[in-house]
A and B are shown apart, each in its own frame.
Chain A
Amino acid sequence: MIVNKNWTAKKSLLGITSGLMLLTVACGSSVRARSESPNVGGSTPAVSVAARPGAVRPGAAAPDFTGTDSNGQTHSLSDFKGKVVVLEWTNHDCPFVRKHYGTGNMQQLQKEATSKGVVWLSVVSSASGQQGYVAGSQANELTKSRSAVPTAVILDSEGKIGRLYNARTTPHMYVIGQDGNIKYMGAIDNIPSSQTSDVKKANNYVRTALAEVLNGKPVSTSTTQPYGCTVKYSG
């Protein structure tokens, strides 16, 4: 008898307690709403690079890549170990690239560099159908007509090398030292405009960096914000 009475009371109170606990857990908590929510309007994550973009920075090792040039030959960065390498992202129709080629500035820079044993690779990462895309023969024609003297013109229409280096603009310049590390990355000079008259007035970062690297000196300006047209990657 006593057991049963104890039972009923016990059960009811237990029921009430458990019920109350779960209720307050559900309703009474002063919780804050919404955990992590993405902000960018629904689009796919924009950066899809093999190495993380943050990994390409001055002082870090330049990621190795293999590309085909305008003559069908393959080149790898590791082929040029021990040499200074300049990577120049380009798009011949971009007004900013035209500013440097039109004034002969880029060709002059290429001549100075290659005469000192520097390997100069012009890279075209424009996707097929986009501004700046060129087939091998067209690229050779442009090199000839513009009197450019790069060591090779790498055709990167899939954008693999561009994304690897997080190349954003044309022109976007990278100077890689003999030790394989990135010595300079960024703009070609310090006046971000498309006015040809600015070329002479500007301080050319690439020329300065090359001089410092070839003389074994530390690079004074190792990174700047690049300017130019956006690299026309495949969507």
Chain B
Amino acid sequence: MLSQLIAWIIAIATAWGAFSIPLSPAWANPVQNKVQAQLVSEVKTIQPGTPFWVALHFKIRPGWHTYWQNPGDSGIRPTIDWSLPTGIKAGEIVWPHPERLPVEPLMNFGYKNEVYHLIEIVPNPDLSNNSPTTLRARASWLVCEVECIPEEATLDLTLPVSAKPPLPNESWTAAFDQTLQAVPKQLPWTAVVKMNAEQMELHVDIPNIRAGQIEKVTFFPYEDGVITNAAEQKVAFGDDGLTLSLERGYQTELDTLNGVLVIQEKLDGQTATQAFSIQAQAGTAAAPSNTASAEENTPLWQALLFALLGGVILNLMPCVFPVLSLKALSIARTAQQSPRQARLHGIAFSAGVLTSFVTLASLLIALRAIGQQIGWGFQLQSPVFVTLMTYILFAVGLSLSGVFMVGSSWMGIGQGLATKSGYTGEFFTGVFATVMATPCTAPFMATAVGVALTQSAPIAIAIFATLGFGLALPYLVLSFTPAWRRRLPKPGAWMETFQQLLAFPMYAAAAWLIWVLTQQTGTNGLAAALTGIIFISFAAWLHQKTGTLRSFRRRLGLLGALLALGAAITSASLIGSAPTPIQVNSGLAWEPYAVERLANLRSSGKPVFVNFTASWCISCMVNERVALDQPEVVAAFQEKGVTLLKADWTNRNSTITQALRTFGRSGVPLYVLYPSVTEKAEPIVLPQVLTTSVVQQALDKV
């Protein structure tokens, strides 16, 4: 009896001893040192042949810091000298991404407060599993506040060896998960770098990027002298990704940029930091083309000259030429006009053009000021705008062809010119000419506009005003020089033919815009635009037909025409919200999210996992790669028979916005696991930062 009791006690004590040894490794360096160091393991036992992670854990006194693999301008990274029993090997330190530690005027890269340096331990398959093994690490590091102190410690970690699969050490699981999150992953996009003597531009192709989500982008090089560590890193966002400007260091021969890119993304309620390892090949361009540096070198007078020339040449562009040439010819008709009247007409027209250009410039500047990254031509990025311009160009073409006569007085062909109200008419013709000019660009215009957008508001407006002046110049000159006016061909029947002929450049411009639209929205956009054009043609014909009828019918006809126009415009706005196709992940079959489908699945008792994501959400993408696409998670999903729904919020549709709101969220990512109805009814919401263990644990509850 007693011996049995003793045997039990011994057994329990041994078991307790075996399991408690790795639980809390002793801290080295008692409190008076700046860093408390310990060696911790993610597992409680070693299985021969199964690699596992240990970590050199630093708790750093507040205000002090230690260093990353590239310490930056000064400092030294921690090193480990291992004493390992035979049959066990240790890898190199795997570093979580650092932060920038400014030390005016220099910059270091390292860690504050706490850091886990990961090391992979590889035990041989033929390791004997009788006795516990001790891993000994002699770690030395530099810890600095302003002054630096080299410190070192000898750290031991003893773990039993067992043939069974290693048990995870729960007290450290969260720390290891978090650290693995912070370790750079391979960049899933292409990165290119353009270099000149002083600058580098790192461009990462991230399709559908939403810059508003991204708070900060930082680059940490692996080597010294690649960048000027302390220099500011400016990030710019474009259609297809982001561009980070880096100041070069003293290394002159570089063909790749190697380092870590850290992106901080704003999620609902928290900021997620993603670290990527980058090897960007150097592009061949000597000077980065997107920076302002090239344009800053253009002196102002040159920019203004280009603007003037660009404006003049704009007169010849197919969007503008028909309008303005007919306008010019109409002057010849006005023989009864006094020279003063002619001049005033010219000035009114120029005023209209100038006002429109200045308004456009102010709008551009205002949009930039509130944070939108745009350049000239931005309007052509919007399918809605492109469609509307197509309609306008087409309508003007119809007017020139004679289908309806509303536009005739704009060209000055009508009788309105001789009247006093002709001045306001001229003004609006100027506005109209500008509207027509917006889809077209002219040579020289691009440089001028490029310079304008880098300058302060008054200079930018001045450049745009000069552009408008250039556009108005030929007409203005004509209105001021009677001699030239007399040289213009005399009006006659030929004018009508000429007018009808000029409809065709208009149709050509409309056709080009439809091509642009098809590029943007595909065949759906094409169908919508063509339908809109049919509506416009109908509206035009209806308007013309009812023009000769009595008032009531006329009004009805006008109403019908406007309704048709409305339908055309509605179809234009439909183009803007074309849904993007959903990508199918390898290994997982995602169905598109739909409320009815979810309800069906739940009522049939199947567990459902809903992944609320967007193609511009970097954390979503990282979660998919790091957790959802991992084989163990895929297997777990299949084992539990979970149906996978993907709610793609790339274009922010309202169904998904509603669904997000029911969970109290206003953004992505959101991961919801609905258990099978036979068990708990409450859906399980997973955290915004996923790991395989988090997902697997959630699935265990299903």
Contact = CB atoms under 8 A, between A and B. Distances in A.
Interface of A: 2-3, 6-7, 9-11, 13-14, 17-18, 20-22, 24-26, 28-41, 43-49, 52-54, 56-58, 93-95, 130-131, 163, 166, 168-169, 185, 192-195, 223-233, 235
A93 B228 CA distance: 27
B406 A29 contact: no
B89 interface: no
Contacts of A223: 225, 250-251
A159 to B, nearest CB: 8
A226 B73 CA distance: 8
B373 A225 contact: no
Nearest to B384: A28
Contact of B146 (A33, A35, A47, A232): A232
A54 B211 contact: no
Contacts of A56: 250
A222 to B, nearest CB: 10
Contacts of B248: 54
Interface stretch (B430-438, B479-487, B660-668): B430-438
Nearest to B236: A36
Contact of B431 (A14, A24, A49): A14
22 contacts: A3-B419, A17-B392, A18-B356, A21-B438, A32-B237, A33-B210, A33-B373, A34-B371, A36-B234, A39-B233, A45-B232, A46-B102, A46-B230, A46-B231, A53-B249, A54-B198, A131-B147, A168-B73, A192-B76, A195-B140, A230-B75, A230-B108
A106 B638 CA distance: 67
Contacts of B438: 21
Contacts, number: 215
B191 to A, nearest CB: 17
A53 B228 contact: yes
A48 B359 CA distance: 41
Interface string B344-356: 0000000000001
A25 B363 contact: yes
A116 B391 CA distance: 85
A46 to B, nearest CB: 3
Contacts of A13: 406
B160 to A, nearest CB: 35
B250 A53 contact: yes
Nearest to A163: B105
Contacts of B415: 2-3
A48 B150 CA distance: 29
Given A3-B414, A94-B148, A192-B76, A34 B237 contact: yes
A194 B74 CA distance: 14
A46 B232 CA distance: 8
A7 B419 CA distance: 11
Nearest to B247: A54
Nearest to B404: A9
B252 interface: yes
Of A7, A24, A232, chain B has the most CB atoms within 10 Å of the CB of A24
Contacts of A58: 250
A171 B117 CA distance: 28
A38 B251 CA distance: 24
A168 B74 CA distance: 6
Given A28-B576, A35-B371, A131-B146, A40 B392 contact: no
A193 B435 contact: no
User: Mostly helix, strand, loop or mixed at chain B's interface?
Assistant: mixed
A97 to B, nearest CB: 11
A57 B108 CA distance: 20
Which range holds the interface residue count of chain B?
Answer: 35 or more
B141 to A, nearest CB: 10
B381 interface: yes
Of B224, B251, B421, chain A has the most CB atoms within 10 Å of the CB of B224
Given A6-B408, A169-B74, A31 B431 contact: no
B148 A230 contact: yes
B490 interface: no
A230 B388 contact: no
A47 B105 contact: yes
B435 A18 contact: yes
Contacts of A49: 105
A3 B416 CA distance: 6
A234 B388 CA distance: 61
Interface in B356-382: 356, 359-360, 363, 367-368, 371-374, 378-379, 381-382
B384 A33 contact: no
Contacts of B148: 94-95, 229-230
B212 interface: yes
Interface in B377-435: 378-379, 381-385, 388-389, 392, 405-410, 414-416, 419, 421, 425, 428, 431-432, 435
Query: Which 9 residue pairs are nearest across A and B when measured between Cβ atoms?
Result: A46-B230, A225-B224, A28-B384, A57-B250, A230-B74, A194-B150, A29-B382, A168-B73, A33-B211
B273 to A, nearest CB: 13
Interface string B90-117: 0000000000101111111000000000
Interface in B222-281: 223-225, 228, 230-239, 245, 247-252
Given A21-B388, A24-B379, A32-B374, 20 more contacts: A6-B409, A7-B409, A7-B421, A14-B431, A14-B432, A21-B389, A21-B438, A24-B388, A25-B360, A26-B367, A32-B372, A33-B371, A33-B373, A39-B216, A39-B218, A57-B252, A223-B250, A225-B224, A230-B108, A231-B74
Nearest to B218: A39
Contacts of A53: 228, 249-250
Contacts of B431: 14, 18
A9 B547 CA distance: 11
Contacts of B428: 10-11, 14, 18
Nearest to B616: A32
A22 B359 contact: yes
Nearest to B371: A34
Contacts of B251: 57, 223
A227 B148 CA distance: 12
B54 interface: no
Contact of A38 (B102, B232, B372, B374): B232
Nearest to A226: B74
Contacts of B140: 193, 195
Given A10-B407, A24-B385, A34 B211 contact: yes
A30 B356 CA distance: 22
B144 interface: yes
A130 B225 contact: no
Nearest to A38: B232
Nearest to B547: A5
Given A21-B388, A24-B385, A54-B250, A6 B106 contact: no
B249 A54 contact: yes
A219 B545 CA distance: 90
A222 B312 CA distance: 57
Contact of B105 (A31, A32, A48): A48
B238 to A, nearest CB: 6
Contact of B104 (A46, A224, A227): A46
Contacts of B409: 3, 6-7, 10
A168 B106 contact: yes
Given A10-B409, A33-B211, A33-B371, A228 B74 contact: yes
A174 to B, nearest CB: 12
A98 B236 CA distance: 45
B307 to A, nearest CB: 20
B447 to A, nearest CB: 19
B282 to A, nearest CB: 16
Contacts of B209: 32
Contacts of B589: none
Nearest to A131: B147
Nearest to A159: B105
A137 to B, nearest CB: 23
B217 interface: yes
Nearest to B453: A35
A47 B231 contact: yes
Contact of A35 (B147, B197, B368, B410): B368
